[in-house]
Amino acid sequence: MRIFVTGAGGFIGSHLCEQLLRQPEHEVIGIDGMAGAGSARRNLRQLLSHPRFRFIEGDIRRTSLVELLDGVDVVYHLAGMPGVRSSWGADFSKYSVNNIEVTQQLLEACTIVPIRRFIYASTSSIYGEKSGSVPEAAVPEPLSPYGVSKLTGEYLCHVYAHNHGLPVIILRFFTVYGPRQRPDMAFHRFIRSFIEDRPITIYGDGLQTRDFTFIGDGVEAIAAAATAEGAIGETINIGGKERASVRDAIGILEELFERKAKLAWQPKAQGEPRHTWADIRKAEQLLGYKPSTSLREGLRLQMLDMLEMMKGEG
C-alpha cells in the first residue's frame, strides 16, 4: 500500500511514518515544508535512509499534488499550523492558509486521483469547554481561532465526502506528548526548564486537566485507520490512558529529576478549556485502540529523549 503523509517531519507525522513502515507491505511518501528545520531534520533521521520512504521538502500549495498522489492509496493530512495561544490577532492568516486553504487544495486533488482513504488530523480544541468524557457527537464549540481553523478543515472534509464521495476519516487528537514533542508544547517546555534549571511557566492555577496521549500509543491507532473496517465516514477521538492536572505532571517530573521545580505563574491562557477528557470507545471499537503507557513512563521517555537532544545542542 502506498501512503502519502503531509507534515512528515513533524512530531506526530514522523512517528506515524515510522509506525507505518513497520508493516512491510507499506511504502510511505512524506512531504514537509520544514518550517522548524532543526527539529524536523532530527525527526526524520530514522526515516531518510529507509528504502520504502521517499521524502519531499516543499510547500504543499506550490506542489503538483495530482502528480504526487498518482498511485497513492491512503492520504494522511497531518500538516498544519498548530498552537492555541499564537492563533489570535494578525497571525491568524497563517492558520487560515495552512489549516483551511491547504486542506481544501489537498481534498480537491484527491477528487482527481482515486484514493482509498483520506485521514484528516483534527484536535480536541474543536470541542471547547465540556464537562465529563466527551464523545464525538458533542457539539463543537471551539474557544480559539486555532480550533475554528481545524473545525473548518473537518467541515471541508465532510463537504468533499458528500459531494465527491471521498472516503474521509477524521481523527481528533487529545494533547499528544512524548519524544520529539514540539518545543512550544507544555511538557517540552517543562522538561527543558528542569534541564536548564529555569522556572517553569504555568498559565492559570495549574489545576487544569488534560487527557494526555502518549505518542507511541496514539500512532498505533492513527496507523490502524489506514485499513480498519467500518472507519470511513467516521470521526474518532484519540485520547490517552490517563488524565492529570498540570500540577500532577510537574509532580511526576520532580520525582524523575529528583528535585523541586521552580515555578513562574502567569494568567490563564486565552482560548484554552479548563479540562479535556476523550471518550475513546469508538477508537477501541473501530481501531482496536488500547492506550497502555502511563503518564509517568511517557514523561520518563520524553525526558530521556530531550536529554539526548540537548546534549547534541551543546
Catalytic positions, written as ranges: 146
Q: Give the containing element (helix H, strand E) for 207.
A: none
> Which residue is listed with cell 508544547?
185
Residue 169 φ/ψ, nearest 5 degrees: -130, 135
Q: How many CA atoms lie within 13 A of 289 on its CB side?
A: 33
C-alpha triplet 130, 186, 262: angle, nearest 5°: 120
Do the bridges between strand 200-203 and strand 209-214 make them parallel or antiparallel, or are there none, so unpaired?
unpaired
Distance, CA of 207 to CA of 226 (rounded, Å): 37
Instruction: Provide the edge-to-edge strand list for the sheet that holds 235-238.
Output: 53-57, 27-32, 2-6, 74-77, 117-123, 168-173, 235-238
